[in-house]
Amino acid sequence: MAMTSFLALTLSTIFVVITLLHLLSPTSCLSHKQSQDTIQGLLVEDKTRLGSTPPSCHNKCNNCHPCMAVQVPTMPSHNQVKPRLTRATTMDNYFDSSSPSSPSVGNRYSNYKPLGWKCRCGGHFYNP
């Protein structure tokens, strides 16, 4: 009787172990084309990500640690030279959805806040 229960317990344990190994093992039933499509999808996703990658801040913070890359708002340049009116800018103005009499003309990107990368350590910022 004890031998029968021991055998049943051993067989059920072996069955559970084999089932778990089968479920957790990598499957070879997926075709090579599907895995290639997945890799290509990841590459396309990586290329379509907006923004820039952080710079390396190694040795940029005057021996302060930890020196980490952070995004900070850039200061607008008020002394910027205005570009000449070209045909491309004229066409952009022509296809602009706002009317010339609208107060929002020239203010189309007023909520745009450009960000730049700096290296930060403690309360100090350093150029990367």
Pairing assessment for the beta strands 115-121 and 68-73 based on DSSP bridges? antiparallel
Q: What is the pLDDT of residues 5-59, one digit of tens each?
A: 888 888 889 988 888 777 877 765 554 455 666 666 666 555 555 677 889 999 9
**Average pLDDT of the chain to the nearest whole number:** 73
Quick one: which of 56, 52, 83 has its CA closest to 68?
Answer: 56
Q: Give the confidence band of 83 by pLDDT, cuts at 50, 70, 90.
A: low
65 or 25, higher pLDDT: 65
Q: Are 61 and 70 in contact (CB under 8 A)?
A: no
Strand ranges for the chain from DSSP E? 68-73, 115-121, 124-126
